[in-house]
């Protein structure tokens, strides 16, 4: 094999290994957050969950809502790990 062929073979092998490593990684999954809606500051909602933790959510035009949420209301939200809410609704 000449130098160019060996270099191409090495690149192909490394790309194949990189693809195999990527296959083992999992996609981030949304989480469900339930709690009392304490504050609405623009696109940021603050919820106190059942463990007493304060959770900040980003609610934007892409977030699905059945209606506007009210302060003090128990809510349930589907949230990405980065804090962006997918959907928010009154808790059941």
Q: Domains, the chain, ranges and CATH?
A: 31-90 (2.40.50.320)
**The predicted structure's pLDDT at residue 11:** 67
pLDDT band for position 52 (50/70/90)?
very high
pLDDT above 70 as % of the chain: 74
**The predicted structure's pLDDT at residue 26:** 81
Express each pLDDT in 13-42 by its tens digit: 555 544 444 556 788 899 999 999 999 999
E runs forming strands in the chain: 31-41, 44-49, 54-58, 64-65, 74-79, 85-90
Q: Specify burial of residue 46 (Cβ count, 10 A radius: 0-12, 13-18, 19+).
A: middle
What is the pLDDT of the chain when averaged over all its residues?
A: 84
């Amino acid at each position: 094999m000449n130098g160019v062929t060996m270099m191409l073979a090495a690149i192909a092998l490394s790309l194949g290994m990189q693809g195999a490593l990527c296959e083992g990684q999992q996609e981030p999954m949304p989480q469900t957050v339930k709690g009392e809606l304490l504050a609405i500051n623009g696109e940021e909602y603050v919820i106190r969950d059942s463990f007493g933790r304060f959770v900040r959510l980003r609610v934007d035009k892409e977030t699905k809502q059945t209606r506007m949420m009210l302060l003090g209301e128990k809510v349930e939200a589907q949230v990405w790990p980065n804090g962006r809410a997918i959907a928010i609704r009154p808790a059941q």
